[in-house]
Amino acid sequence: MGIDFELARTRMVDNQIRTTDVTSHAVLDAFQAVAREDFVPSSFRTLAYIDDDIAITPRNGTNPQRFLMEPSPLAKLLQLADVGKDNVVLEIGCGTGYTSALLSLLADSVVALECDEELAEQAASTLSELGYDNVAVVTGDLASGYPPEAPYDVIFVGGAVETLPKGLFEQLRDGGRLVVVEGHGNASRANLYVREGGYTSPRHGFNTSVKPLPGFAKTEEFEF
């Protein structure tokens, strides 16, 4: 007997997301609508709705292993971003495209940036097959953002970072928002940055722990 993915998806929304202070109907509806099982490696398909991160790539040299983010913190981050139907969103670190699909239901259009070409190809193919046609997958350095389509109403950073390049703020339009998790492990925090009048101010969202994205490590400082 196969898994009832639709039932598993409903249980994920009710037991993993609603119970962690996610009240946005748009976010809840998006998680109910997007088939998470279509965005995980085939070997993990039966585990698509577990309350945990799911590995999507192995560790590659100095680059960290990549993961599909656990549903609860992902939902809380999307709620913090407060994406509107007329918003243009830059997603940094799209992985296999799951968050891209969620964002596509919340926004007008999504630019999904990925540094791993194989992941980018996989994301583009899956999103196209499933009809998420307001998402454009692009490749490039994650820390550089994607200036060609700027400015953005929302920049969503899909993983934890040690340092946040100031150049990303310059890709926000006035009134735009950037959502990111900063720090390591259980000491990390989700923050919302709002750009107004050329200045960007931070607002603390919530404490959380998510897996890191490549390209955002602090450079070592030498002491003399």
Mean pLDDT along residues 123-151:
98
Average pLDDT, the chain: 94
pLDDT at 1: 56
Domains delineated in the chain: 5-207 (3.40.50.150)
> Long-range contacts of range 62-65, CB-CB < 8 Å, 24 or more positions apart?
63/214, 64/211, 64/212, 64/213, 64/214, 65/211
Pairing of strands 109-114, 88-92: parallel
d(CA 31, CA 48): 13
- In angstroms, the CA 130 to CA 70 distance is 22
Q: Kindly state the tokens that stand for 107.
A: 């926004």
Angle at the Cα of 57 from the Cα atoms of 55 and 63, rounded to 5 degrees: 115
Q: Considering only CA atoms, which of 73, 84, 74, 130 is closest in space to residue 108? A: 84
Q: How far are the Cα atoms of 126, 175, 192 from residue 99, in angstroms, in the given order?
A: 12, 23, 18
Tokens linked to 73: 């913190």
- What letter represents residue 211's amino acid? K
pLDDT attached to residue 2: 80
Cβ–Cβ < 8 Å for 54, 40: yes
Report yes or no: 169 and 157 within 8 Å, Cβ to Cβ: no
Range in 23-27, 76-80, 170-174, 194-198 with the lowest mean pLDDT: 194-198
Name the burial class of residue 196, with classes exposed (0-12), middle (13-18) and buried (19+) by CB atoms within 10 angstroms of its CB.
Answer: exposed
pLDDT of residue 220: 56
pLDDT at position 222 is 47
Which tens digits make up the pLDDT trace of 96-117?
999 999 999 999 999 999 999 9
pLDDT in tens, 57-76: 988 776 778 999 999 999 99
Q: Are 91 and 153 in contact (CB under 8 A)?
A: no
Encode pLDDT of 178-216 as tens digits.
Answer: 999 999 878 899 999 999 998 999 999 999 999 999 999
